[in-house]
Chain A
């Protein structure tokens, strides 16, 4: 089962938010999913409605040892990734430290290029978050050194925090759609309910069931499923 890595060249764009919801969305569609937080900030769990004090077990323990939320097994990969042995294993082609019967969604900090570049060769898909903001768009020059952004065939782009009331956001959406075509696999709007849900330790679905981002996040999971050739194992509306 594939490794899906979530990484963007700039921070603060919503990579962790999308990693969590990709994992939740795939689990809701019947897949066995593990989400691994490779970030020092330990923020992935918040998007599962967990509080900062919640311990998240390190990867590498017994199968199923992680915290389970809405069908997703949550693990921490930060300390393991600091171990040179882990990176050494990753550097061997074809050898993966991940269970092969589950989809693994990895959340990686923008600055952590070592972890990103170590995991990338094992990934079926790299999800690159963009925001309709100049610094995020300018970093399209840095998605994968050596390969132009429009030619990256294992990278899919998601525009997050789009806001149709803002001109630059509308134009960015058109620009990215033209630039990447189908490789811009989803657009997620900006909704303060995302932050309010986090602050309430609740899922968005519980806190704000009408949030515009919910159907958009489902569409993201479906798009990733299609892109990676995963078939849904439960039939769900939408």
Chain B
């Protein structure tokens, strides 16, 4: 427990608080397939190519860029957007492995 927290709890006269320190979320990140799927979804981000600019990401931007890198869509059979075929193709893909 951090010293300032111990001191604060003593000052409050409360020994019954539970204390846990939560890690910096950015250091603690893991890819959630749901986030990757949303970042690949035109209904959320519009045309996918424009969704994430390739740059040198830091902090939170690195968090999102990680998703972009984690799931390159195979360029060779880029489905035609808006068609039922494209829709079904997307459905059959693993969102985590999708863009």
Chain A residues near B (Cβ < 8 Å): 134, 137-138, 140-142, 145, 148-151, 164-165, 167-168, 170-171, 173-175, 177-179
Q: How far is the CB of B98 from chain A (nearest CB, A)?
A: 14
* B41: Cβ under 8 A from any A Cβ: yes
Q: Are A178 and B61 in contact (CB under 8 A)?
A: yes
Chain A residue numbers with a CB within 8 Å of B38 are 137-138, 140-141, 179
Q: How far is the CB of A78 from chain B (nearest CB, A)?
A: 29
Inter-chain CA distance A31–B61, complex, in Å, is 38
Chain B residue numbers with a CB within 8 Å of A151 are 46
Q: How far is the CB of A120 from chain B (nearest CB, A)?
A: 17
What would be 28 A-B contacts, judged by CB atoms less than 8 Å apart?
A: A134-B34, A137-B34, A137-B38, A138-B38, A140-B43, A141-B38, A148-B43, A148-B44, A148-B46, A149-B43, A149-B44, A150-B51, A165-B22, A167-B25, A167-B28, A168-B32, A170-B22, A170-B28, A171-B32, A175-B32, A175-B63, A177-B60, A178-B63, A178-B64, A179-B38, A179-B39, A179-B44, A179-B64
A-B contact count (CB 8 A): 64
Q: How far is the CB of B9 from chain A (nearest CB, A)?
A: 17
Inter-chain CA distance A138–B35, complex, in Å, is 9
Q: How far is the CB of A50 from chain B (nearest CB, A)?
A: 35
* B70: Cβ under 8 A from any A Cβ: no
With A177-B60, A179-B38 known, 11 other A-B pairs at CB within 8 A are: A134-B34, A149-B44, A150-B45, A150-B51, A151-B46, A165-B20, A167-B28, A171-B35, A174-B26, A174-B60, A178-B63
Closest to B38 in A: A140
Closest to B62 in A: A178
Closest to A150 in B: B45
Q: Are B63 and A174 in contact (CB under 8 A)?
A: yes
Q: How far is the CB of A132 from chain B (nearest CB, A)?
A: 11
